[in-house]
Amino acid sequence: MVRPASLLLLILLGCTSAPPPREPEQVFADTLRKYAEDGDAAAALASLDDLLLKRPEWVEAHVARASILLSAGRKAGALASFDRALSIRPKFLDALGARGLLLAELGRTADAERDFKTLIDAAPEAPDGYLFRAWLELRDGRYSESQRDLAEARARGPGRWQDYHNAGAAASRANRWAQAERNFELAVLLRPDHADGWFALSRAHAALGRPDQTLEDLDRADRERPRDPGVWYARGEMLRSLQRYVEAIKAYDRAIEFGAAPIMYSGRAQACACVNDTRGAEADFAIALELEPKLREAWVARARWRSANGRYEEAIEDYAAALRIRASASVLRELARLHHDKEQWSLAVAGYEQALRICVEPELRPVLEHDLAEARARKK
């Protein structure tokens, strides 16, 4: 019979013993899964580097490392990892395609084309090599050649566009906009009549700060699917961001004509406010909030407009309505600044303190601390 003290020792040893080591394949799979969830490139690369120290010839790990480096904007490191993978397995198709696209971005057109030709030779029945080469030829203005390659790609993979569109959507959700752009570009090359593809590409271009391309994409989406209210609303938003307010209002008009939604009235109201159309702005904000009383964006936008026009009491009411829907540190600060400007120091201090309690934006915290210190000093 085991004595109580010995039994306790065995229990403690059982609780503190290390778990059995995981197989490298399981670590590899877990690393990629975790990276897909949290986007922590540094942690993923550290894990892959550890695996490659033990298995330096692991081609898939080199390619995964290259892909993560590329997502992080570290193109030189990504190229080195692709080179390493292909030195081990020269006909690794995924690595050939990815390296070719990267080489094209780096201006090494001849090297990129060589990779795409190798890809075609290795898998002549697959669409990807033809597609990548067509993309490269279009970039170089070689339209006749690109059309031949696109015809080959479409014939070999009539449904392949969906894979690229889905990959672009996944990259968008992770805010990896350069990857999203490339995948959506390839998708619309294969399926140029797909309005949703052009619309998705416009979002990627907008996120990357390319307004002219965004508007071109929306024009193409409208040609492929006329009278789509979402396309015209997106166009209004882009034009408003470019301060082209009269054009934006016309775009919102079309969106509302084709399928009115509360957010469209809110966007048009903000454009009207920027051209000093007070009556139009007031009417559109009212319609938006009547149709959707919990449209927080409209409450905040109207509060800012009213504040800028000296309508402080009304602005405070709008901010309060927005905060009842969802509190955020940035909106709380805007409301506190209204009290601050009116020298209502107790209310300003309370607002800044509340904003600090819920602040999750590192860059906003020092701003709030400065504002709070100033309000407290003025309150005394």
270 and 342 part of one domain: no
Query: Taking a C-beta distance cutoff of 8 angstroms, is the pair 164, 190 a contact?
Result: yes
Position 16 scores a pLDDT of 47
What's the 3-state SS for 158-182? CCHHHHHHHHHHHHHHCCCHHHHHH
| Rounded-to-integer distance, Cα 268 and Cα 277, Å | 11
Position 20 scores a pLDDT of 66
Domain-located, residue 98: no
Domain-located, residue 31: no
Last residue of a domain, one of 200, 225, 250: 225
Q: What is the DSSP letter of 342?
A: T
Dihedral through CA 31, CA 34, CA 39, CA 43, nearest 10?
A: -50
317 and 344 part of one domain: no
Position 8 scores a pLDDT of 43
CB within 8 Å of 40: residues ≥ 6 apart: 34
278 and 215 part of one domain: no
CATH value at residue 293: 1.25.40.10
Domain-located, residue 13: no
191 and 267 part of one domain: no
Burial class (CB in 10 A: 0-12, 13-18, 19+), 308: exposed
235 and 204 part of one domain: no
| Rounded-to-integer distance, Cα 40 and Cα 170, Å | 16
293 and 237 part of one domain: yes
Last residue of a domain, one of 203, 225, 247: 225
Domain-located, residue 106: no
Domain-located, residue 82: no
238 and 312 part of one domain: yes
Last residue of a domain, one of 194, 225, 256: 225
* 145 three-class SS: helix
Q: Is residue 369 within a helix (H) or strand (E), and if so which, with residue range? A: helix 365-379
Position 70 scores a pLDDT of 93
301 and 338 part of one domain: no
Tell me which residue range forms the domain holding 209: 159-225
Could you tell me the pTM of the whole model? 0.85
Domain-located, residue 4: no
Burial class (CB in 10 A: 0-12, 13-18, 19+), 322: buried
Position 379 scores a pLDDT of 83
Domain-located, residue 93: no
Walking along the chain (380 residues) 10 residues at a time, the average pLDDT comes out as 45 48 89 92 96 96 96 95 97 95 96 97 97 96 96 97 96 92 97 98 97 98 97 98 98 98 98 98 98 98 97 97 97 96 95 96 96 91
